[in-house]
Amino acid sequence: MANYSDSDLWLNIPVAADDDFVRSLAELMRAELDPDRRLYLELGNELWNWAEPYSFGRDYALTRARSRWQGVEGTVTGYSDGEPVNELMMIYSWQGIRSIEIADIFRDVFASRPDRIISVLAGQIGASMPYWFPSRYLLETPLYTGEEEGMAAGYQADAFAVAPYVGEPEGDYGFRRSGPGDFLDDAIAYVEGRDPYGVQSQEPGMRYQIRSDAALAAEFGLPLLAYEGGQHFTGSRFTRDQVNSHGNMYNLYRSLLKVWEEEGGSLFVHFAGIIPKGKNPPGEEPGYYQSENFGVKEYQNQDLEQAHKMRALLDAMRLSGQIAE
């Protein structure tokens, strides 16, 4: 698909892959991928995520970290800022340095063109804010630097990535349900960081989360990428059927991409392509997966005037010169 579309390839490496598997995969990519295409390497998918099925990768990372750095969890060390070493430090330290080890294997296989390999450290959006900062562990890899005296993964990687999804805040900060247009107006305010989603709010807008992530990336000289992103409205018929099909969705997407660029974001990988929306029995509210509507189109031949997310992405790509007018 990458060769056919003249695109670089974003490759998720199985989190439990050993060195032999990684080398074989790298050799396959060298043989099959067009020589002018680059490879973005991400270890697993959302190792920060404690919800199933992502938690399986998270649990595996914790197991590997405990095996690699035995006896340090729960202890106060010189590299844990006076706090006991916790699960987040363990998981992110292992994820960070394992990502670098995988990239090193790929670069060895791509020895004549190591510049084709882009090592990505992927964390949670906004997890660099003053009150919640596990992404710093990912870039600083404190257990690796403290126990093995190695260089922090952030100084060895090529990019830091997060997932700028627009979801609905909980409680009093939730969006209006008086209609899909009002709901999306509030979502745009949330993205742009306007009242009541200012920087000092209990629910600071996405602008400030992206700004914080970009600042953390800049500390290590890294660009900020989006490994996934888009709308993330789930849990009801209203969001699936009315919000996602409303024309104001176009404005939300244009706002998201504008704020992303203004606050220092670069490459943005949208999730997802053409996916039918969820279904559920009549008279019942959908469950999580039944309420999904992530696709830029719901079906292949959907009219572009009705595919507001797709239209917004295409217009943004034209504006950036990525595709022709």
pLDDT (tens digit per residue) in 186-200: 999 999 999 999 999
Mean of the per-residue pLDDT values of the chain:
97
**Banded model confidence at residue 24, pLDDT cuts 50, 70, 90:** very high
Q: Is 219's pLDDT higher than 90?
A: yes
Q: Which one of 1.10.287, 3.30.110, 3.80.10, 3.20.20 gives the CATH number of domain 2-172+207-320?
A: 3.20.20
Q: How far are the Cα atoms of 30, 123, 148, 184, 215 from residue 46, in angstroms, in the given order?
A: 26, 7, 25, 27, 21
**Banded model confidence at residue 19, pLDDT cuts 50, 70, 90:** very high
d(CA 95, CA 121): 8
Q: Convert the pLDDT of each residue in 67-125 to its tens digit.
A: 999 999 999 999 998 999 999 999 999 999 999 999 999 999 999 999 999 999 999 99
Q: Is 283's pLDDT higher than 90?
A: no
User: Are 131 and 203 within 8 A, CB to CB?
Assistant: no
Q: Which of 129, 75, 120 is nearest to 102 (CA)?
A: 120
**Banded model confidence at residue 48, pLDDT cuts 50, 70, 90:** very high
- pLDDT for the residue numbered 325: 78
Q: Is 324's pLDDT higher than 90?
A: no
Q: How far are the Cα atoms of 22, 50, 201, 231, 286 from residue 187, in angstroms, in the given order?
A: 41, 25, 15, 10, 22
Q: Convert the pLDDT of each residue in 115-156 to its tens digit.
A: 999 999 999 999 999 888 999 999 999 999 999 999 999 999
Cβ within 8 Å of residue 309, ≥6 positions away: 230, 231, 244, 249, 250, 253, 295, 296, 297
Whether the upstream peptide bond of residue 196 has omega within 30° of 0, thus cis, is yes
d(CA 91, CA 96): 9
Can you point out the beta strands (E) in the chain?
Answer: 9-13, 39-43, 117-122, 159-162, 165-166, 224-226, 230-231, 265-268
Cα Rg of the chain (Å, integer): 21
- Average pLDDT (244-267) is 98
pTM above 0.85, yes or no: yes
- Average pLDDT (250-277) is 97
d(CA 25, CA 109): 10
- pLDDT for the residue numbered 223: 99
- Average pLDDT (253-279) is 97
Q: Is 233's pLDDT higher than 90?
A: yes
3-state per-residue secondary structure call for 157-179: CCEEEECCEECCCCHHHCCCCCC
Q: Convert the pLDDT of each residue in 151-208 to its tens digit.
A: 999 999 999 999 999 999 999 999 999 999 999 999 999 999 999 999 999 999 999 9
